[in-house]
């Protein structure tokens, strides 16, 4: 299970680990993608519900496994 995290906290985490993001843009992308997920957005590859946190960063609607190539999502986060 992905660990739930607020959009704000996730944005701070991304900005700590990556240079070049503007928080305002990041928050907008995260909220938009989360909204898409709530509206039933599906992974382009396998049709599972998208991983909103990752899809917002990559700009592509993918589930956790298709984004990372890993099945174990217990050490990662999902925005809510
Ligand atoms: Zn997938």
Instruction: Identify the pLDDT of residue 62.
Output: 98
Please state the rounded mean pLDDT for residues 5-23: 95
pTM over 0.75: yes
| Ligand 1 centroid, distance to 68 Cα (angstroms) | 10
| Ligand 1 centroid, distance to 79 Cα (angstroms) | 17
| Ligand 1 centroid, distance to 30 Cα (angstroms) | 19
Rounded CA separation 2/4 (Å)? 6
Please state the domain extents for the chain.
Answer: 3-79
**DSSP SS3 for 3:** strand
Residue 5 belongs to what H/E stretch? strand 3-5
Please state the rounded mean pLDDT for residues 58-67: 97
| Ligand 1 centroid, distance to 60 Cα (angstroms) | 11
User: pLDDT tens for residues 35-50?
Assistant: 999 999 999 999 999 9
| Ligand 1 centroid, distance to 47 Cα (angstroms) | 6
């Amino acid at each position: 299970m992905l660990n739930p995290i607020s959009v704000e906290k996730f944005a701070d985490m991304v900005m700590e680990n990556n240079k070049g993001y503007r928080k305002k843009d990041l928050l907008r992308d995260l909220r938009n993608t989360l909204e898409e997920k709530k509206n039933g957005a599906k992974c382009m590859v396998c049709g599972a519900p998208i991983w909103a946190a990752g899809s917002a960063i990559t700009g592509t609607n993918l589930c956790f496994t298709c984004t990372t190539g890993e099945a174990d999502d217990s050490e990662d986060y999902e925005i809510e």
